[in-house]
Structure 1
Amino acid sequence: MQVVDPHVHFWNLDTHHYPWLANPGTSFVGDARELKHNYLPDDLLREAGDIDVLKVVHVEANHDPEDPVEETRWLEAIADNAANAGEARALPDAIVAACDLSAPNASAVLEAHAAFARTRGIRQILNVHENKLYDYVGRHYMRETTWRENFALLEKHGLSFDLQLYPAQMEEAAALARAHPGIQLVINHAGMFVDRNSVAGYRAWREGLRLLAACPNVAVKISGLAMFDHAWSVESLRPYVLETIDAFGADRAMFASNFPVDRLFGGYSKLWHAYASIVSGASESEHAALFRGNAERIYRI
């Protein structure tokens, strides 16, 4: 099976600082202590098994916030070195870099990231939740004037924005997307449906997806589902996959692995074959779009 994987993380703990891996703990996502080891392109390709990984998009891995551009510099060097060595895969093919859009130096950081050939977008995690177990950032960035002003600069640099949030934040995100039709937004992890034990929670996720899908400049990655379903199976993933595709259509949805994080709960090949099983009834063109084409188009690779 050939895939383009638009959500992968690499890190080198020997040479770079990742605060969350310096003293890892456990959370709803899993046991980060099991991730405290280097994870590089060769590691991904080695465990891919029968999955032919054609291209990869690297999404910022919570690298040292004091120097977010260093992560991009390092990734660019990895890919350049592989290409110069004539390797079949010079990964990553594209980079979604980190930037705190609320920071005074956000404009300079964006400009620095944009100078690298493989930079395609920015991610800043926005997840806010009243339950501290699920709360990532503790503030509503999308409501802050400085953040919104710097968000608008993405269009100047031709950068997309990877949108990691919860369903309760989707209405605000849809308004942001409508206000900036020239910026491509990509929802991470199918909208991170966290409040799945209530009718209201399901409704918030389902209706939120459709609010965002009504914006033509928004796409979605179907990934990270194992973070909320540690004992997942094809059948347990099926409703979330199909609901997301139903909202966005096969032309604005893409499958992704979220490796090595999702590797805590299953192998790489197993995950991609689960996706394939769920959409086995898709047409050849829909299958190509979901597994390769949409990621290539949206991330320009």
Structure 2
Amino acid sequence: MNTPLPPRLGNVIPVDPAWVAKVSEEALEPALPIVDPHHHLWQRADNDYMFHDLLADTRTGHNIVATVFVDCHSMYRKEGPPELRCVGETEFANGVAAMSASGIYGNLRACARIVGHVDLRLGAKAGVVFDAQIAAGNGRFIGIRYQTGLDKDPGIRATRTNPTPGLMADATWRDGFRELARRDLTFDAWAYHPQLAEISDLAAAFPNTQIILDHVGGPLGYASYASRHAEVFATWKKSMARLARQPNVSVKVGGLGMAMGWFDFYQRPSPPSSQMLADAFRPWVETCIELFGAERCMFESNFPVDKITSGYGVLWNAFKRLAANASPSERTALFSGTASRVYKIALS
């Protein structure tokens, strides 16, 4: 469906807790272990999401056993060398992880792995920053996310790193990537669907590095893409099929609740039910699983960004509905196995 652009489309829209609370559901299959491989924590003037907020969401009936914190430019150091200020985010997330590991808050291991940020445009000098991140993570730092989202349509907001065209093929940027590869770290790719071929090329150049594609590959559905939904889906599917040929790439299946021009749930009087979400997300989810296999797919919450569309419990119910026909081994992969393997999380 074509949707009107909200005031901050492409950015993080503040969550309305009262609106989200209008729809809640009892958890389906409450014993199923879940590793949530993608959430953020931040303190912002209009949109806080801190550890107590994550706890409230993960206590909605599902068996969330561990989570992965992902970079969101949170708690960067105010002082010191600019290239090292990103280490503050890892220190922050590691502090939350230590709180969670105390057991005071239950069995959840929040921020069991930390995906931070390093500016790969530093080239070989990025190695020093990687080493600082590893030290700050105290065994939890697993890799970085680099946001390369950029489109020729000026109506599409570029991601916060202010990327240049073809950045993932830039020689200096790849020198920085080599420092990541040498340390056996993971790489989360957040780009838009017209850039999927660039990620395929990167994966082919670094076949021993685990690359995780965020948010089903960032399909664009607003600005000039708003009237071309069928075309975009076909183009996205073709590009995803090519990317799936790279065995070192896995996919985070989620992020579909963001304001990217595909669904207008966040503009309705009440949030959707899990069945409504499952019906809406099905083409994207089933295509990812068909192309990559369950062993390279992992459901993600992308909270609090996706909280503009539904509550945490409702979202995981939607994923469980979407996986209803999967085999037991496939379900394990989708909800915990792929994430724990890729991010090296030891589940008890």
Q: TM-score, normalised by structure 2?
A: 0.76
CA distance in 1, matches of 2:189, 2:118: 13
Q: Do the aligned partners of 1:45 and 1:53 also contact (CA within 8 Å) in 2? A: no
CA distance in 2, matches of 1:55, 1:113: 21
1:147 to 144, 169, 173: 173
Letter in 2 for 1:247: L
Q: Which has the larger radius of gyration?
A: 2
CA distance in 2, matches of 1:84, 1:51: 21
| CA-CA distance at 1:87 after TM superposition | 4.2
CA shift digits 1:61-82 (9 cap, x unpaired): 1234841001101211222233
2:119 is aligned with 1:109: no
Q: TM-score, normalised by structure 1?
A: 0.87
CA distance in 1, matches of 2:70, 2:163: 22
CA distance in 2, matches of 1:288, 1:90: 18
CA distance in 2, matches of 1:273, 1:87: 23
Letter in 2 for 1:44: L
CA distance in 2, matches of 1:60, 1:150: 17
- List runs of 5+ in structure 2 lacking aligned partners: 1-29, 266-271
2:257 is aligned with 1:226: yes
1:58 to 69, 84, 89: 69
2:35 is aligned with 1:4: yes
What residue number does 1:244 align with?
288
Tell which deviates more after alignment, 111-120 or 181-190. Answer: 111-120
1:47 to 48, 57, 73: 57
| CA-CA distance at 1:41 after TM superposition | 2.7
What residue number does 2:323 align with?
279
- List runs of 5+ in structure 1 lacking aligned partners: 14-20, 23-32
Residue 230 and residue 54 in structure 1: after superposition, are their counterparts in 2 closer, same or farther (change >3 A)? farther
CA distance in 1, matches of 2:233, 2:100: 44
Q: Do the aligned partners of 2:65 and 2:109 also contact (CA within 8 Å) in 1? A: no
Tell which deviates more after alignment, 165-174 or 185-194. Answer: 165-174
Letter in 2 for 1:69: V
2:144 to 110, 119, 122: 122
Q: Do the aligned partners of 1:222 and 1:241 also contact (CA within 8 Å) in 2? A: yes
CA distance in 1, matches of 2:91, 2:281: 36
Residue 91 and residue 248 in structure 1: after superposition, are their counterparts in 2 closer, same or farther (change >3 A)? same
Q: How does 1:7-86 map to 2 (within 5 A)?
A: 7-11=38-42, 13=43, 21=44, 33=46, 36-37=47-48, 39-48=49-58, 49-63=60-74, 64=76, 66=82, 67-84=85-102, 86=104
Alignment identity in percent? 33
SS in 2 for 1:93: strand
Number of aligned residue pairs? 280
**Root-mean-square deviation (CA), in Å?**
1.8
Q: How does 1:248-267 map to 2 (within 5 A)?
A: 248-267=292-311
Q: How does 1:150-229 map to 2 (within 5 A)?
A: 150-195=176-221, 197-227=228-258, 228=260, 229=263
CA distance in 2, matches of 1:130, 1:284: 43
Tell which deviates more after alignment, 124-133 or 227-236. Answer: 227-236
SS in 1 for 2:295: coil
